[in-house]
Structure 1
Amino acid sequence: MTLDDTQTKAMTSAGLNLIAQALSIYDRDLRLAVCNRPFQTMFNLPDWLTIPGAPFEDTIRYLATSGEYGPIDDIEAYVADKVDIARAFEPHYMERTRANGRTISVEGSPLPQGGWVTVYTDITQAKRSETLLRARSEELSEKLVSHSEELAAANRKLAASNAALEEAKRELTEMEARTRLVTEMMPAHIAHVNAEGRYTYSNRRLSAIMPGRPADVVGMTLSAAVGIENFELIRPHLHAAFQGESPVFEFTEPHDSRRLRAAFTPDGQGGAYILSMDVTAETQARAALQQGRRREIAAQMTSGMAHDFSNLLTIILGMQSRLARMDLGTEAADLIAATRTAARRGGRLLNRIADMTGQRPPRPQATDMHDFLADLKLLASPSLPQAVDLTVLDHCPDRPVMLDPGLLQDALLNLILNARDACGTSGQITITAHAVGDIWLELSVTDTGAGFSPDALDKALHPFFTTKGDAGSGLGLPMVYDMVKMAGGAMEIGNWSGGAEVRLRLPLRLAPAAPGGLALLVEDSADLRSNYRTMLMDLGYAVIEAAAADEAQALLGDVGEIALILSDIKLEGTATGLDLGWAAKSAGVPLILMTSLPLDDPLHRAALTSGPVLRKPFTIQTLAGLLGHEAAA
């Protein structure tokens, strides 16, 4: 049977109170964590200074005011000096004669998590004995004096050793502080849990990768720190680490669908070290790159066949035209008309395939989603039967977002027309749009039709699968899927209680704010820098410049708030404009890349997954449209 926390705390408190020495522990914020009863009685402290959370500053002020440290001219200056010394967390030992004539020793040691423990010992009697011994030393025999001298020499050697140990301890403390500072600056959560799953160390970055979770988690269980939903996803991997394995895995955080990667490493004592980070942007980029590669493969496979098929359709249509001019009778005329209709349908199908496998990349621009959705409703409503109602629930951010409005409009119109066909002559179509945390822009289209059949749920995203017979091409939903994946997003289809639902998730990238702030221009060509500087200034920005990514990162850290970064991809040195991405994201600064590299260049393709890319050369109107600003003609 194990003791609960209340029993353990009570037994610990009782044990500390039985110690003859006074003891206090203050945390990194200089607040009392624990003390024993001798600490209160030794310094005659009021109760409110002995409860957890009592400020160190208030305790020093009380002791100084009560005369503990003797006469003091400026008590507040004395208190401030003591607080500054305490914040340094230096190990120390000292002996002090109190105002009441008694002598105490004070020994303080820093703790690994910050803060320190101090032990106070009343050594008055020992000091009196030393004085008496010195007074009577003349009465001692020469041998005893010699022995005392030898003992004193040994004590001096011991003191020297202790000093060396204290110096080593100080250096170790400084090293621990530096290590703690480095880990707290890393964009990842680094921690350790013991065999019970309780945190013994954390770099206070859990809240950075899981917004809404606490930062100070030392002493908490992993399940309490990350929440039950997340812990259920983590539990099997944690148990594997406790068994000696080193699992590395990814999971989607349920709150706002962040993609997180975690690595557990066993510590050899039943616990585990934890390294976890937010890889949402990486996952979005990976999905977009994979879809781009699929498009390339599809284009390679279909381009030759499409060319030959197009030639065959041309021949068929030509022959049918010649047959139509012959007097072959009514029955033959019907067959000729049907053949020509089928050939034309094949031509339209070829165009759809070309759209899916073409090289047209997404062209993100600053888009006001409120205006976009209003225009979409206006555009789609005339194509719906009178008894089919279209409702738009707009909960989008008020600030413009970066996306390709043309591709998104085509995709949503496709879904609306599919929903219209499912509803028949009457029904309800609903478009819902909202942000999921600061990660995704989610748009869903629902209808009150019959919903997806099990077969359709399984095959709806397969090219050429259709439930509309000759009226459908089977490329509508695959084209929507292709658009979403090229943007680094995700698509889900399913049924709800009233019909079918298609949900699209696109990376939420807010457009740069209104002009008038400070822009960082990163370009290694002096002539081009001059041109782009003029464009930015005409749009209302003040401009600072850099020629290399390293120089730009230094400016990003040293200069005040920067509203926009406009950077070439290829720059001086080995770092590229892509390397600015993490620094810009960490600083919350929008980044727009520009390049003259061809579309098939790996750097260009990688840039397309992270945000807007301007093709050189470009005009001020193009730049203004991307930023959502009006440019002078």
Structure 2
Amino acid sequence: IASAGDAIISVSPEDRIEGWNPAAERVFGLAAAEAIGRPITDLLPRGDYTDARRRLGEGTPMHGFETTATAGQPRPMELAVTLSALHGRHGGLEGLIAIVRDITAQREVEKQLRQSEKLTALGQLAGGIAHDFNNLLQAILGYAQLMKQNPRDIDFVSRSLNIVEAAAVDGSETVRRIQQFARLRPDEQFVGVDVNQIVHDAVAIVRPRWEERIARDNRPLDLRLDLGTIETINGRPAALAELMTNLILNALDAMPDGGTLTVSTRSDPGRHITLTVTDTGVGMAETVRRRIFEPFFSTKGEGGSGLGLSMVYSIVRRHGGDIRVESEPARGATFTLTFPVASEPVGAEPEAALPRARRPARVLLVDDDPKVLGTLTEILRSVGHTVTAAASGATAFAAYGPGRFDVVLTNLGMAGMNGWEFAERLRRVDANITILFITGWGLRDEEHGRLKMLRIRKCLFKPVRPAELDAAIQDALAAV
């Protein structure tokens, strides 16, 4: 006991210290003469100790717990405590032995390790984003400069513009996925969803690529659907279709030599439905399996963004579901997803709106980025709207007058007076003007209530396409 590295303390039935070894002196900074006779609860938190003692009194021979001790210490100590019961001849509790280890340094190392892991993950995230956008910018910048060198080659300029547009769309899709992953972009409303129909829709989306692979590689690829009779779930059809498409494409990539993909559904009535996606592909090692849901982690090299499976995980969790993966090298992989069944109907998908006649609008446009302001101005004017462009919230507020405009479209993140502040000032002078927001930042969950309070008609997310922008203006005009 004297040479033990851990504090060993004997405790009387009255919970007073009776024995105190040298390690206890080091841990608590008390000599034996100072400690013996004191209540053990002077050193260990009363709640943790009382709970452990109760368990021992009920017959548990030993109980361990971790706690933080602050009493009489210059700084909090993290302690690992094991209490053992000392029983007399008749089985009564005649005392306790407490073995105490100071784990403060260990917990500090673990904390630093977790922080290091977070920084590493952040670095991977930033590196992945930089990688994807540098590739897209290479295409955009390269073709833009080539078009400047060959402005009279109409065919080349047309092809180049298509590539530039496709690169920009890819970039906006990457941003959308990141914002949805970070919950900075609102999702569509939950409706009743038939997961079997989601499977059929995803298969239809993927089928051209599936058939192209078969024709190109001349290797067998079989798809088997084993869809049972299942209940509906509450969900977002577009998000679930994206989830299913990603899982099928992931399985397709995992079978370079061909194989079989099996998608099955089954129902546990009244509780949940289970969706299983199994491939006979290359499988994965345990080190890979543990990381496949991390953003930007990919085993596909240049061919993979590393966002597909992280989006799958995010979508499953937002639907209250669970996902697990079983896989071994050369033995394929099985993804098992469970979703709670719909407890009650939450509505159906909205019917398509009837076509309506377009109307020109008088638009007050606010953005402090000159390039964005110029682009949005040209887009709106090209479809017949009258635009007053303002490069700041203060300038826009000075230009505003009740009755002068039909719609106000303002950026959110601006220097000086931001979009929120501009909208609040505007509402004080005109409670009825239609206000639209546009942002590249995204929206936090707590900001949706603020949108309702200010009666913001809609929030658009950059980059916005001309048709989407005009549709938002037309929707605003129709609501007046």
1 or 2, which has the higher helix percentage?
Answer: 1
Q: Normalising TM by the smaller chain, what interval?
A: 0.3 to 0.5
Tell which has more relative contact order, 1 or 2 (C-alpha 8 A, sep 6+): 2
TM score, norm. by length of structure 1: 0.30
TM score, norm. by length of structure 2: 0.38
